[in-house]
Amino acid sequence: MVQLVFATNNIHKLREINHILGDSFSLLSLKDIGMEIDIPENEATLEGNAMYKAKHIYELTAMNVFADDTGLEIDVLGGLPGVHSARFAGESKDFSANIEKALAMMGMAENRNARFRTVIALILDGKEFLFEGVSEGRIISDKRGSEGFGYDPVFVPEGETRTFAEMTLAEKNRISHRARAFEKLREFLVLHADKRQ
Ligand code: IMP
């Protein structure tokens, strides 16, 4: 069985990915390997941050490892908040303040196009791989819904009338950036596991 470390301290993400990866992989958290450290996210891109986190753990443990990073890219803001999504309005990582800041910067802009992008960096048998999951959509000017987290109340995915925050977790997971990226990782790992046998 392929053993993999998921370089995150987020228990919700771990549960989510455990569900997607199923029983064929043995997934370990940072806690499981005795490394509850906060890995810095100082790179200029999602790819850079995800790879930095994976490499950090790989260099310390030499174990197979993956890490993820997600951002909301708003076209009229030149891709902001992007890699700064979590701390857009400050270190407190306040979801409401982040939304207010983004909406204020967008003003009455007609172009409301945006996308969530998740990047996963994997280091497997010492080799580096990147996977991407995208959810295209638009930003509305008033918050709607109470599910989810982050920018969900103002993001309406393409082909939908509801925001992510108006969907159940199961509905969001069918079309979300993160689910798409993790599904690509799963497909890759299944192929890889087959080749190893
Ligand atoms: P992370 O890389 O998954 O920690 O995500 C960074 C930030 O992006 C979070 O703090 C949220 O503000 C935002 N974000 C990530 N995923 C989502 C999502 O599915 N919905 C809304 N906001 C998200």
How many Cα neighbours within 13 Å face the side chain of 45? 8
Helix residue ranges per DSSP H, 67-149: 95-106
Q: How many domains does the chain have?
A: 1
**How many A from CA of 178 to the centre of ligand 1?**
9
What's the maximum distance between 2 C-alpha atoms anywhere in the chain? 57
Task: Enter the tokens of residue 109.
Answer: 């802009």
Query: Looking at ligand 1, which atom is closest to the CA of residue 95?
Result: 12
Please give the model's pTM, rounded to 2 decimal places.
0.95
pLDDT confidence of residue 13: 84
Is the separation of the CB atoms in 192 and 2 below 8 Å?
A: yes
CA 145 to CA 95: how far, in whole Å?
14
- CATH code for the domain of 22: 3.90.950.10
Q: Place 196 in a pLDDT band, splitting at 50, 70 and 90.
A: low
**65 strand-pairing partners:** 5, 123
11 has a pLDDT exceeding 80? yes
Instruction: Give the domain extent around 126.
Output: 2-196
Q: Place 12 in a pLDDT band, splitting at 50, 70 and 90.
A: confident
pLDDT confidence of residue 162: 98
197 has a pLDDT exceeding 70? no
Q: Place 22 in a pLDDT band, splitting at 50, 70 and 90.
A: confident
pLDDT confidence of residue 15: 82
> In sequence order, which residues have a C-beta less than 8 Å from that of residue 60 and are 6 or more positions away?
35
Q: Which amino acid is it at 142?
A: D
148 CB under 6 A from ligand 1?
yes
Name the residue of 85, 88, 115 to mutate for ligand 1: max ligand atoms within 8 A of Cβ.
Answer: 85
The single residue of 68, 69, 75, 152 carrying the catalytic annotation is 69
Read off the pLDDT of residues 77-132 as tens digits, 9 standing for 90 and up: 999 999 999 999 999 999 999 999 999 999 999 999 999 999 999 999 999 999 99
Mean pLDDT of the chain: 94
Does residue 69 carry a catalytic annotation?
yes
Task: Report the share of the chain in percent with pLDDT over 90.
Answer: 81
